[in-house]
Amino acid sequence: MVMVKGKMNWFWGKDMGGYIRELEELKKMQKRKLEIKGVVANKGVVKGVVRIVKTVDDLPKVESGDILVAPMTFPSFIPAMEKAAAFVTNEGGILCHAAIVSREMSKPCVINTKNATEILKDGDLVEVDAEKGVVKIIKRG
Q: Are residues 51 and 68 in the same domain?
A: yes
Q: Are residues 9 and 72 in the same domain?
A: no
First to last CA, the chain: 35
Q: Are residues 71 and 94 in the same domain?
A: yes
> How confident is the model over 94-109, as a mean pLDDT?
97
Query: Which amino acid appears at position 4 of this protein?
Result: V
pLDDT digits (tens, 9 = 90+) for 65-84: 999 999 999 999 999 999 99
pLDDT digits (tens, 9 = 90+) for 111-122: 999 999 989 999
> How confident is the model over 101-111, as a mean pLDDT?
98
Angle, CA of 111, 66 and 112, to the nearest 5°: 10
Q: Are residues 128 and 86 in the same domain?
A: yes
Q: Is pTM beyond 0.85 here?
A: no
Catalytic residue, chosen from 50, 97, 113, 116, is 97
97 is catalytic: yes
CATH number at residue 115: 3.50.30.10
Q: Are residues 43 and 24 in the same domain?
A: no
